[in-house]
Structure formats: C-alpha cells, structure tokens
Structure 1
Amino acid sequence: MGEDMRGMRVIEEWSPIIVMVTSNIAMGSVNALVKKALDGGVNHMVVGAYRMAISAFILAPFAYVLERKTRPELSFRLMFDHFISGLLGASLMQFFFLLGLSYTSATVSCALVSMLPAITFALALLFRTENVKNLKTKAGVLKVIGTLICISGGLFLTFYKGPQISNPHSHEATLHHNHDQEKTKNWLLGCLFLFIGTTLLSLWMLFQGTLNIKYPCKYSSTCLMSIFAAFQCALLSLYKGRDVQDWIIHDKFVILVIIYAGVVGQAMSTVAVAWGIKKVGAVFASTFAPVTLIAATLFDFLILHTPLYLGSILGSVVAVMGLYVFLWGKKKETEASSTTMSPPMDNENQTINNNNHNDSRSPV
C-alpha cells in the first residue's frame, strides 16, 4: 500500500513536468515549420486564423463528450474572459510573434521565448501573484538566478552565431542565401515584435491561472478561446492585405503545416499548458520555454537541414542549466513549505501526548 502511494506521488509530481516538456518540444517543431511556410510569402494571420479554426474543430468533440456534465454555465463574464484569453494567448500574440518570426528565424524566436520565465516572474511580482518575501529565501534566490541564466542563454544564442559545426558543404550557399535575406528583413524590429508577443503570452499564462479557477474545463475553455481567436485573426489579417486570394492556399506543404500547427501547436499544446498552469502555476510552467528553443534548433538542423552553429549549442546548454537551477529552487520552496507546515504540528502533538501520558502516571 505504501509503495502504491509513493508511486502515485511520483507520478503526480512528474506528470506536469513531462507534459510541459512534451508540449514545448511540439511548439519548437511548429515554430520551425511555420517559419518555413512564412518564407513562402503567405499572410501570417491567415495561417493564424486557419490554425485557430482547426484547433476549435478538433477540441469541440472532446469538450462536448468529456465535459458536458461538469461544464459550468456560460455567463457573459465568462464569454468576455475567453475573448480576452483569445486576444492575449492567440490572436494578438500570434500577430506579433509570427510577424517577428517572418523577420528573423525559428531559433531566434524561440530564444526570445526563453525569456518567458523572467517576464512571467516579473509580471507575477507586479500583479502580486508571486510573493516578494520569498525572494529573500534560498529557494527564491535560486529561482531568480535560474531565470537570469535562462535569459542569458537566450540572449547568447540570439546574438552570438559562432562558427558553423555542421553541413560544411552547404555553408557557402547558406551564407549567400542569408546575405540576400538580410537585405529585406529588419532584424531588430523582428526581435521587438517577438518580445511583445512573448510578453502577451506571459500575460495570458497569468490570466489563464485565474480563468482555470472560474472555468475548470480545459477542452471547453481552449475551444472557446480558439473560436474567438479565429475571428480575431481574420480581422487582423486585413493589416497585410484584403485580397481574397490570400485565403486560398495551393501549396501542399503550407496546408500540412497549418493542420499540424492547429492540431499539435494549438489544440494539444494549449490544453497541455492550461493543465500545467492549473497544476504548478504560471511561473513554473513558463520555465519550460527553453525546451522550445532547443527543439526548434534541433528540428531546424535534423529535419529542415539548416546549418548548426556553435552559438546555438552553447546558448541551448546555458538555457537548460538555468531551467535546472529554477527547478532546484522550486523544489527547495516546496520542501520548505511542507517542512514548516507539517513537522511542527507533529512535534506539538507529540509534546501534548507526552505531557498527558506523564500526568496520567503521576499521583493525584
């Protein structure tokens, strides 16, 4: 019985980590593929709108079958909350993120997303969802250090390219291709758009933490968010052009990318992240962003055959080190909270019991 309980505790402790790692790996592959599709000139918000519509279509049956008996009644406030959730976590986030992705690269976009823990942590302190007093403890210091290391890894990967360590035969062609691309792209503007998109994603994660309490149905909530976001993306697509032909996609690769992004990158990943936030909180869930960075780098290299540079390897290693330091701090925080709450009670009860025992044995 004890072993079964211990096994259940281990599963409960590690399942959020496994889910968050898996979802971030999926997001890394999605970013790399979407970048490839955007290079073909497709309207980035058309991709976003189709992606949201596919997500809603996939999740609707799950929401109906699995949550029809437990789903709270939808009020106007809850509908408005899901509208805001769609703006922060989908339409506006994708507007800036995909625009920045089209100006930069999948690796750079994911490198800036690796700043998500720091931004979420700072916003959590600003909105007082994270206790400032905890920063003075050893666990708090480790969390801050881990966050700073994550940022350093992302910035290092972004601004230090280093020598090429793979695909030596395609190096010359790649350099020529990159030289032509750099003439048409505003790199700094792209990084700014990516930063805005990451900040919106941080706000969504914090907002999702409160929405999970009001509406604890992950499939229905993500489905509603996707429906609102699909219409929002369609309106935002007017920014780039109003040609109906933009919505007619003939390229089979782009169609497959949109389907993959809708099913894996939006429906499955958003449900997983929402579940992870409910289990471990927004700040802890955001620390897995560097996994997206590593996945995008490896996916670019192994599947899309883009060159791999020393800066990508070193930056990824530093980001993972930061993630482990943060997890170490989070573990210390959990141990400290459990130690301060349960053992003193046990000691106090033991003292009372001992006193009672002594009193019963002493003469009257």
Structure 2
Amino acid sequence: MSRKSLAKRLKLARPFLAVIVLQFGFAGLNIILKFALNQGMSQHVLVVYRHAVATAVIAPFALVLERKTRPKLTSSVFTKIVFLGLLEPVIDQNLFYTGMKSTTATFAAAMSNVLPAFVFIMAWIVRLEKVNIGRIHSQAKILGTIVTVGGAMFMTLFNGPVLNLPWAKQDNHIDSTKGAHNQVSIKGALMIGAGCVSWSSFIILQAITLKAYPAELSLTALICLMGMVQGSAVALALEWGNPAAWSIHFDSKLLAALYSGVICSGLTYYIQGIVMQDKGPVFVTAFNPLNMVIVAIMSSFILSETMYLGRVIGAAVIVAGLYMVLWGKSKDEPTSESIGKRVLASENEHMTEMNENISTSKRDLLVVAVDGARGRNTEESV
C-alpha cells in the first residue's frame, strides 16, 4: 500500500475514530460520576465545577490558536451561545445526573441511546437531514428511530429476571426489594429522557451556530463559560443553605470534576464540532450504543451493578434501531463510484455541448461562405 493511499484511508477513518474515542470517554465518565454521586456529591455543584475546569483548560488554547481566524462575535451568535450553555451544560446535565442517582450507570448509558433518534427528528425538522419517504434508506432511518425509542421504553418498563453474573456480588434479596423504587425508578428514567431531548437540541443548535461562527475552540470555551455562569445560579438556588455541598477534596469528587471538565466538556464539544461540520449531527450521535456496552461491562465489574434480562433485550433493540438509522445515513452520502459517474456524465454532457457548438459554428461559416460565393457569381454575371 502506498503512502498516499494510506494517508487517504486514515483521513476517511478519522471521523469514525474520533466518535469512538468520544464514546470511551463518556463510558469512563458514567462510571466515575456514579461513584462520586454515591459518595454524596451534589450533582448541581458538579455541573459548575465541570465547566469551570473546562473553561480554564480550553480558553488559553482558543485565545492563542484562533486569535487570527476567530470571526466577529455578533449579537445573534452570542444569543445562540447563551442557549447552548443552558441546554446541555445546565438542563441536560442536571437532569441526567439526578436521574442517574436513582438508577444505575448502565441504565443511564442505555437510556442515552435515544439521543440519535431525537437528533435525527430535530435535524429532519430544521432540514439538516435529508429524508425522502419513497427511498429505502430514508424508510430505514425513520423505522430505526421508532425502534430505538421503543427499545428505550422497554428498558424503562420491564426488568425481567436477574442475570447472575459471577463477578457482580450483590445481595439479591436487597436488590429485589429496592429494585423497582431505587435502581430503575420511572422518575429517574423520565429525567434522563428529558435530558436527552435537551442534549439533542444542543447538538442541533451547535451545528447551526458553527456555520456562522466556525471557530471550534472559541465556541467550546464560550459554551463552557456560559454553562459555568448559568449552572452556578441553578446550584446556588438548589443548594441554598448547604455550603457543605461545595466542599471538595482529593477524592472521587475531584476526579469527577476534572475528568468531566477536561474530557467530556472541553475535548468533547471541540471534537464533536469538527466531526459535525464534515459528517453532520446524526453521524456524531450514531455511535452511542458503544458507550452502553462499555459501561455495562465496566459497571458490573467496578460497581457490582445487577444486570437484568429486560435491559439486555431493550439494549439489543436500541442497537438494532440505531444501526438502521446509521445504515440509512450512510446511503445519503455519495460513494466515490457515484461521484465518478456523475463527473463522467457531466464531462460527456460538456463535450457533447462543445461538439454541438462547433458543428453550429461550422454550419454558420459554410452558410456565410456559400452566400458570399453566390454574391460574387451574381456580380460577375452582371
């Protein structure tokens, strides 16, 4: 394989590798967050610390690397950034963390798999996603969206028998008495679902904002700054009279703030923006099932979480639906062969047009020559 061919393949694989790395980052976050929340950390304070860390890490890079390319910050773009800071850093994360407290890390990760379905619907509405009902790949995207939401509802409403994994040493009696009310509460599931709607809105608005403000690092820093400011107001209101909620030491709480700020806010918003400009918002979220698989394996080992058959079935349904959407999405993108055929057809059409123009010119010249000859013959006869 030539170096040029290898470089081309790496360039094509780069968006796939980027979103896979993001899913590993999210999987680690779910485990660390669940552990910190179990240790009593306030989810509202965590949101503030997370984006304070992200702002401190990303802002210097944005100031230096984009000082010459950063576009003007108009009032329209600033308004969008305020809403971006409210949608994901504040609304989504507060709802998601609160829902995770009453469920499990695996369940929260599985519920977040409805994200691509919501993103697809919203992208369709705002015309960021093309849908032709008469085409098979568009029908696959629509059907996959319905299947995904159905799988999430199945996971929420049906547990089924416990899967006795040898490494998940947990008291089944305690789990059976608390399961319905503690680990898989309907309230927690609804909060996670509402958070996913807000997260989807954030992704769509980010894609729209990047068209007017194509500076990924600067946009990331501003979103994190807005999230910190607005999240502080929410945390102060909800944790009023509880100063102990703001205390932090060298423990899992500090690790959660640092990890979530650097990996899952700073780097994620930046990488997500780059991939989104090339592949679109639906592609960015289509790999969420990988997050669920990683979390399920890690949480059963690290947190000894109980696995239920209903969750496994629901997760399988979600994965099937999501990859129907992904398959349909892949058919939207023109292949190199179709592009080649299109270019060849265009060239043939252009050549035909040139030949017709040449033939017309020759015919016109012949007519002029004949008319000139007739004129000379007439003059000679006279």
**Smaller-chain TM-score bracket:** 0.7 to 0.9
Task: State the match for 1:43 in structure 2.
Answer: 42
How many Å apart are 1:309 and its aligned residue? Answer: 3.8
Residue 326 of structure 1 aligns to a residue in which SS? helix
Q: 1:240 aligns with which of 238, 244, 251?
A: 238
The answer to whether the Cα contact below 8 Å between 1:150 and 1:290 also exists between their aligned partners in 2 is: no
The answer to whether the Cα contact below 8 Å between 1:27 and 1:269 also exists between their aligned partners in 2 is: no
The answer to whether the Cα contact below 8 Å between 1:95 and 1:236 also exists between their aligned partners in 2 is: no
CA–CA distance in structure 2, aligned partners of residues 148 and 235 of structure 1: 37
Task: State the match for 1:230 in structure 2.
Answer: 228
Task: State the match for 2:19 in structure 1.
Answer: 20
The answer to whether the Cα contact below 8 Å between 2:53 and 2:262 also exists between their aligned partners in 1 is: yes
Task: State the match for 2:349 in structure 1.
Answer: 348
The answer to whether the Cα contact below 8 Å between 1:85 and 1:207 also exists between their aligned partners in 2 is: yes
Task: State the match for 1:276 in structure 2.
Answer: 275
How many Å apart are 1:145 and its aligned residue? Answer: 2.9
Under a length normalisation based on structure 1, what TM-score does the superposition of the two structures give?
0.87
Q: Supply the AA of the counterpart residue of 1:344.
A: A
The alpha-carbon distance between structure 1 residues 203 and 183, as it changes in their structure 2 partners (threshold 3 A), is closer
* Larger displacement relative to structure 2 (178-187 or 121-130): 178-187
How many Å apart are 1:177 and its aligned residue? Answer: 4.5
Residue 136 of structure 1 aligns to a residue in which SS? coil
The alpha-carbon distance between structure 1 residues 105 and 306, as it changes in their structure 2 partners (threshold 3 A), is closer
How many Å apart are 1:75 and its aligned residue? Answer: 3.4
How many Å apart are 1:199 and its aligned residue? Answer: 0.6
Q: Supply the AA of the counterpart residue of 2:227.
A: A
Residue 193 of structure 1 aligns to a residue in which SS? helix
The alpha-carbon distance between structure 1 residues 170 and 324, as it changes in their structure 2 partners (threshold 3 A), is closer
Q: Supply the AA of the counterpart residue of 2:121.
A: A
How many Å apart are 1:301 and its aligned residue? Answer: 2.1
Q: Supply the AA of the counterpart residue of 1:273.
A: Q
The answer to whether the Cα contact below 8 Å between 2:115 and 2:200 also exists between their aligned partners in 1 is: yes
Q: Does 1:139 align with 2:137?
A: yes
Sequence identity of aligned pairs in percent?
27
The alpha-carbon distance between structure 1 residues 282 and 6, as it changes in their structure 2 partners (threshold 3 A), is same
Task: State the match for 1:196 in structure 2.
Answer: 194
Residue 120 of structure 2 aligns to a residue in which SS? helix
1:79-118 matched pairs, under 5 angstroms: 79-118=78-117
1:96-116, Cα deviation, whole Å (9 max, x unpaired): 111212222222222221111
CA–CA distance in structure 1, aligned partners of residues 85 and 13 of structure 2: 29
The alpha-carbon distance between structure 1 residues 101 and 169, as it changes in their structure 2 partners (threshold 3 A), is closer
* Larger displacement relative to structure 2 (25-34 or 334-343): 334-343
Q: Supply the AA of the counterpart residue of 1:280.
A: K
Residue 255 of structure 1 aligns to a residue in which SS? helix
CA–CA distance in structure 2, aligned partners of residues 272 and 303 of structure 1: 28
CA–CA distance in structure 1, aligned partners of residues 344 and 191 of structure 2: 49
Q: 2:217 aligns with which of 210, 216, 219?
A: 219
The alpha-carbon distance between structure 1 residues 135 and 283, as it changes in their structure 2 partners (threshold 3 A), is farther
Q: How many equivalent pairs are there?
A: 362
Under a length normalisation based on structure 2, what TM-score does the superposition of the two structures give?
0.83
Q: Supply the AA of the counterpart residue of 1:348.
A: E
Q: Does 1:304 align with 2:303?
A: yes
Q: Structure 1: 5+ residue runs without aligned partners?
A: none
Q: Supply the AA of the counterpart residue of 2:165.
A: N
Which has more radius of gyration? 2
The alpha-carbon distance between structure 1 residues 52 and 172, as it changes in their structure 2 partners (threshold 3 A), is closer
Task: State the match for 2:171 in structure 1.
Answer: 173
CA–CA distance in structure 1, aligned partners of residues 329 and 308 of structure 2: 32
Residue 135 of structure 1 aligns to a residue in which SS? coil
Task: State the match for 1:73 in structure 2.
Answer: 72
How many Å apart are 1:140 and its aligned residue? Answer: 1.0
1:87-142, Cα deviation, whole Å (9 max, x unpaired): 0121111121112122222222222211112111222233333344x232222122
Residue 104 of structure 1 aligns to a residue in which SS? coil
What is the CA RMSD across the aligned residues, in angstroms? Answer: 3.1
1:241-300, Cα deviation, whole Å (9 max, x unpaired): 212221002471222122111111221122121222112111222222222222221221
